[in-house]
Amino acid sequence: MLSFSSSKSFTTAKGFPNLHSLSNPFSDSISLRLNPPTILNLRSKSLQITAIDAAQPYDYETQLRTQFNKSNNLKIAIIGFGNFGQFLAKTFVKQGHTVLAHSRSNYVDVARKLGVSFFQDPHDLCEEHPEVVLLCSSILSTKSVLKSLPFQRLRRNTLFVDVLSVKEFPRNLFLETLPAEFDILCTHPMFGPESGKNGWAGLPFVYDKVRIGNDEFRMARCSKFLDIFAREGCRMVEMTCAEHDKYAAGSQFITHTMGRVLERFGLESTEINTKGYETLLNLVENTAGDSFDLYYGLFVYNNNAMEQLERLDMAFESIKKEIFGYMHRLYRKQLFEDEGGLGVSKDKKVGQKLLHGGSALELPSDTLPPNGAAREPPSETVKQTP
Ligand code: NAP
């Protein structure tokens, strides 16, 4: 039922409402009550609504907004509650945020212990209307996990964040998949459950505000999320996803690769560990807890990783050539000076003597230095050779 006050007539001669009067209801004092049939008539005429109502203090969204503005706490939904998701949740809960979680596996008990509400059904989680949805799934599963979320159940504007160790991939995926009115923040906390177990102070946190609406509420929500890490003392680094991937392939991917190589190599702690050796042991410890999915994701989803792996391989080969070449040169020189020159068979013996602890190794001829200085024995030695 509509109600206005007016001294004017509010109906036409045919009994239809006088739309001119309706279009300017505050021009005079009029009084009209329209019963339901009249309202139907109104609809059949070309009456258009050109403005929506102003938000009232009792509206649901306004209440949420007021509540949000007063508090620093966020409602954060973690999607993918594995190793890293649980690690982040501990700090979120400690800071007083409300944390919800959903994962492929059932983590109800783990979540309860951490003070997190676990939802096995993503629909139930989305109906809780979290302000932030944080993707913590493996790099390889992220696309299918994201596509399984019922976006229509979320608030019409929600902030999506990811913590994947590669950045261009989730950025493009978010831009392609998420509704246009959702905000996007791509982040990479550059530490894990092992390296961050004693606190996050000084540890780098990379972020890229890919799409944050130009609205006070939306900007504040993004700042509040970033503040979680700033408050823990992280070194906040803003850079594009492309820059991140370029740097990370040369640092993080290589770190993980070396950690895995050394783990396979079988480093053991001894009583005489040097500081350098302790660093290697720590590297193995830091990377050993990470899943192979994570390592594989770093390789497959970072366009720069293959190039870095090849460079590492070349560097290793070059170091081997350098030390073998040096050794070869030295022994040849010694051989020809001390024994007046030796044949190929004796040369081989030298190689075997060097490897007394292991198997025999043929020293490759290309291990000699490029100037060929040691390829030929000194001229006087040549003369003595029969
Ligand atoms: P992860 O092996 O990379 O990911 C494990 C998570 O992915 C679990 O929540 C798991 O769910 C989910 N998952 C795996 N396969 C799935 C599938 N087919 N369908 C649905 N969910 C699937 O290990 P993580 O260490 O926990 O890393 C999580 C994310 O954080 C990754 O994107 C990683 O790059 C990033 N990150 C990790 C670190 C770190 O130090 N670990 C640091 C920074 C960023 P269920 O457990 O339910 O099976």
Regarding beta strands 98-102 and 75-79, do their DSSP bridges make them parallel or antiparallel, or are they unpaired? parallel
Q: How far is the CA of 163 from the centre of ligand 1 (A)?
A: 10
Pair of tokens at residue 383: 């003369």
Domain boundaries, the chain: 4-43, 71-239, 247-314, 336-384
**Chain centre distance of CA 271:** 39
pLDDT in tens, 88-116: 999 999 999 999 999 999 999 999 999 99
Query: Which of 78, 79, 84 best tests ligand 1's pocket when mutated (most atoms within 8 Å of CB)?
Result: 84
Q: How far is the CA of 143 from the centre of ligand 1 (A)?
A: 12
Contact 125, 102 (CB under 8 A): yes
Q: How far is the CA of 65 from the centre of ligand 1 (A)?
A: 32
Predicted confidence (pLDDT) at residue 379 exceeds the cutoff of 60: no
pLDDT in tens, 272-311: 999 999 999 999 998 888 899 999 999 999 999 999 999 9
Predicted confidence (pLDDT) at residue 177 exceeds the cutoff of 60: yes
Q: At the fourth CATH level, which superfamily is domain 71-239? A: NAD(P)-binding Rossmann-like Domain (3.40.50.720)
Best-predicted range by mean pLDDT (63-77, 232-246, 322-336):
232-246
